[in-house]
Structure 1
Amino acid sequence: MADHDDFASAVDDYLTRSHTGERRRALLDGGGWDAGLASELAGLGWYSLAVPQDRGGIGAPPAALGHVFLVEYGRHLLPGPLLENSLLPALVEQIVPAADGTPPALVDPGASVPGDLGSVAVTGREVVGSVAAVRFAAQAGVLVVVAGTTVCLVDPDSPGVRIEPLVSADPGVAFASVSFDGAVAHTLVTDDGLGDRIRSWGRLLLACELGGLARGALDRTVAHVGQREQFGRPIGGFQAVKHLVADMSARSTGLHNLCLAALADAGGASPPELDLIASTAKAHAADAAVRVCEDAIQLHGGMGFTTETDVSWYYRRALALRGWYGDETELRHHVGAALLDPERQS
């Protein structure tokens, strides 16, 4: 794990130098996709961390990705297909990270409440159906389609595939709708449970990213209240402000520690256990990160809502990630059902 910590430290050093101020806000204001940034990160090898060594990767376990998402990506407000480029090549043997950062897109109706995004079915190799919102579908080199227990790969330029870009409320993600009208999958992945593993690890990494967002919002708020003055003294000296910052710190630290514990348990977990671990972490993250960001906005006053302050971007990102693969209400019901059904833990 020391090597993976060194990797996370190198990511932090690089982002501290290169992803600050105007560049960060310009990337976030650019619609969630920047081909130059994706190519830059691919060239640095960031997307190969959890790819097996026999396929040219570093060979870290998927849990190592969580440390980067938790400590670095979320805290530095890094936009782009980080989840898609990092996780899918690690779990799907047929995908190799593209040298130019072109992402695979995960076409998964299960990314939201069942039925809300649509549905997809695969018969033989023929794919039909639609998904109303897919991250980075318009930029993808391959579509990874999850249809029930089937996972298949579809060329986005194939006949029968229609991709329409959407306006995104998430400053870090470009969305598009995807529909299939008899499109032919060029690869059927024969790996039982792959779709469930993709969803569980995706949910856990999003929880980690929310944890990083909470830590980033807290750090900027602590700096702000230490500099902003009223009545001739920093507002951080006022008791009410101290209490609010203490609450933010408690939520952020609790979320950070929960994510670390979840990552430690996830590596050797069975599929039902992994689902429960990831759902628990994401349920807490969806609530805690948004609360921390709301408090950050309050302590920044009116300027907190402007795009010239980073806390507004943290808040928008947290709100967008809150519901992806389940918000706190949906996942608490899911966790409760799992705990009350012993057969789901066997």
Structure 2
Amino acid sequence: MTEHEYGADEYGAAVDEYLTRAYDGDRRRKLLDAGAWHPDLTAEFAELGWYSLAVPEDRGGLGAPLSALGPVFVQFGRHLVVGPQLENVLVPALLPDERITAAAETGVPVALVDPGVTEDWAADLGSVTLTAGRLSGTVHAARFARQASLLVVVAEATVCLVDPAAPGLRIEELDSADPGTEFARVVLDEVHADPIADDDLVPRLRSWARILLACELSGLAHRSLEHTVEHLGRREQFGRPIGSFQALKHIAADMHARWTGLHNLCLATLADADGASVPDLEIMAATAKAHAAEVAVRVCEDAIQLHGGMGFTAESIVSWHYTRALALRAWYGDQTELRGRLGAVLLDETHPRRTT
């Protein structure tokens, strides 16, 4: 087994052990019922050092490679962890700013305001432009913007840091169908911004977001499979466990095969991602996220089917997994959008990946 193998990685194993003990079913259900933002939970994770895992040592972090975050996000998926975990773990690792590092130490989120979370619905999501150090535009869906201590705004190819209290900035609460996320609309009217000079930052940020979301979706699919196998062995009909019925065995076997393929793809992506060029990283990330978007939802749908009528109710944990998988499927591209992008790269003979 390699250092990236699920269950063997020390970070993933430590997170799994803690969540199993401290984020049990009763606590998870209370947090899901109460909404996605829980400052005590993020402060707890910050104190454990989870948000500083991939922060360089010279900025007070553990200096782990970004690939080491993959098994952590698998566990976030398996345990259905709510809150701004993507923002709090990934952004401090990539952006060298004292305000972001401080957020990682306290758990107060840094919101990633990025119109590029989708291309297919870009016209509906909005856009942001940067002119002479000022940001203007609207992003109609940003995760945890109302709770953030700092906004990381992507304006075309530039990442900018924005104070949430800056003049000209308005943040409006939105309803959320995602049990793990709060959304807000961010409106910017000539808002002062601090641009970060790094041409590769935007594609790296989006690529790693896709990879970590793929890992989280893999964890969701795995736990849905585990719950289903437990249910098939426990539920009886006609005097025997329903898992003994041939038709149900076939569905469960297909669920396992799909999750295994996704799991292995995530491992392979993590193994190659740290040293990859930006064009290669974008291709690997899009491939992993596209497959995860399809597989996780399909596995969760099969889990609901095999749980019968109770699978659709809020009393069944698999319904929560399904809702979460649906929400994460589209964030930074679903299978349709990303496969279209991959196809365009394969047909483009001038793309850097094709010319190296």
| TM-score using structure 2 length | 0.94
1:310-329 superposed matches below 5 A: 310-329=317-336
Q: Map Cα deviations across residues 30-59 of structure 1 (whole Å, 9 max, x no partner).
A: 221111101000010011111001111110
Question: Per-residue deviation at 1:29?
Answer: 2.0
Question: Per-residue deviation at 1:97?
Answer: 4.6
Distance 2:157 2:170 in 1: 23
Give the equivalent residue in structure 1 for 2:124: 116
Give the equivalent residue in structure 2 for 1:201: 208
Question: Per-residue deviation at 1:294?
Answer: 0.2
The residue type paired with residue 132 of structure 1 is H
Contact 1:48 1:97 in 2 (8 A): no
Give the equivalent residue in structure 2 for 1:215: 222
Q: Map Cα deviations across residues 185-210 of structure 1 (whole Å, 9 max, x no partner).
A: 1x211111211111111011111111
Contact 1:47 1:97 in 2 (8 A): no
**Quick check: 92-101 or 230-239, which moved more?**
92-101
1:244-259 superposed matches below 5 A: 244-259=251-266
1:106 aligns with 2:112: yes
Gaps of 5+ in 1: none
Contact 2:11 2:68 in 1 (8 A): no
The counterpart of 1:277, out of the listed 274, 277, 284, is: 284
Aligned Cα RMSD in Å? Answer: 1.3
The residue type paired with residue 148 of structure 2 is A
Distance 2:309 2:36 in 1: 25
SS of residue in 1 equivalent to 2:124: coil
Give the equivalent residue in structure 2 for 1:40: 44
SS of residue in 2 equivalent to 1:176: strand
SS of residue in 1 equivalent to 2:161: strand
The residue type paired with residue 173 of structure 1 is T
1:144 aligns with 2:134: no
SS of residue in 2 equivalent to 1:132: strand
SS of residue in 2 equivalent to 1:58: coil
Distance 1:93 1:69 in 2: 22
Mark the CA change 1:81 to 1:248 in structure 2 (over 3 Å): closer, same or farther.
same
Q: How many residues get paired?
A: 344
Give the equivalent residue in structure 1 for 2:101: 96
Question: Per-residue deviation at 1:2?
Answer: 5.2
Give the equivalent residue in structure 1 for 2:88: 85
Question: Per-residue deviation at 1:292?
Answer: 0.1
Give the equivalent residue in structure 2 for 1:69: 73
Distance 1:40 1:309 in 2: 27
Mark the CA change 1:152 to 1:19 in structure 2 (over 3 Å): closer, same or farther.
same
Identity of aligned residues (%): 62
Contact 1:163 1:177 in 2 (8 A): yes
Distance 1:140 1:177 in 2: 13
Contact 1:170 1:317 in 2 (8 A): yes
SS of residue in 2 equivalent to 1:138: coil
